[in-house]
Amino acid sequence: MKVSTRSTFKVSATGEHRTGFCENCQTQTVKEFYMDGERRRIRMVCPVCGGMGKLIAKTFSVQPPDPPQCLSFRCLFRFFMDTLFCALLSNYHKRRVAYAEKNRHKVILERYRTGEPSPKTIWQAIYDNTKLTCPICRKYN
């Protein structure tokens, strides 16, 4: 499938899916505006203890690789490797979010809910993808 994006209008967005009740005291969370540096932001917090709802899954914004800057073998090879990494990373986060959503009521590793740590290299991405497909391996860190 062809994915078309704009190179000069970069967009990044994440969705954090949580339950509506505090994971500490089970009170329903409410909206709270807060300042993150100069940025005015919003979150759902518990009015009693300041906790948050139980995290079910957090999506991850994968950015497409930058186009090659030259036609030399080195530039093209680098672009090929970046593209390969992007595909593996996308595949990992797609499967991770689906796995976390499917197991919302079960205990799974926190890394599959938060997406952190995210693979940083091709080999890490291959390893994490393989681990996620194995029903036994994905239970252990």
Partner 1 sequence: MAQTQTWTDTGIQELILLLEEAAATGMESIVCLEMATPCTAAVASTFANPADTAIHHTDSGLLLAAIDTVGHATVNTTGDTITFDHVFTATGTKNVAGIHTCNNDDDVTFIECCFNAVLAVENTDTITIDGQSTIDQA
User: Which listed residue (11, 71, 107, 136) binds partner 1 by CB under 8 A?
Assistant: 11
62: contact with partner 1 by CB under 8 A: yes
Q: Is 72 helix (H, G, I), strand (E, B) or coil?
A: coil
Alpha-carbon distance of 87 to 126, in angstroms, equals 10
- Is residue 56 within 8 Å of residue 96, measured between CB atoms? no
122: contact with partner 1 by CB under 8 A: no
Q: What is the number of other CB atoms lying within 10 angstroms of the CB of residue 41?
A: 10
Identity of the residue, 12 or 141, whose beta carbon is nearer to partner 1 in the bound complex: 12
Task: Estimate to the nearest angstrom the gap between the alpha carbon of 36 and the chain centroid.
Answer: 20
* Residues binding partner 1: number (CB under 8 A): 51
**CA trace torsion 97, 59, 113, 83 (10° rounding):** 70
For 121, the token pair is: 């290299």
45: contact with partner 1 by CB under 8 A: no
Alpha-carbon distance of 85 to 120, in angstroms, equals 9
Site string for partner 1, 22-41 (x = CB under 8 A): ------xx-x-x----xxxx
Identity of the residue, 33 or 73, whose beta carbon is nearer to partner 1 in the bound complex: 33
69: contact with partner 1 by CB under 8 A: no
109: contact with partner 1 by CB under 8 A: no
Which positions lie near partner 1, rule CB under 8 A?
1, 3-21, 28-29, 31, 33, 38-44, 53, 56-57, 59-62, 86-87, 89-91, 93-98, 101, 104
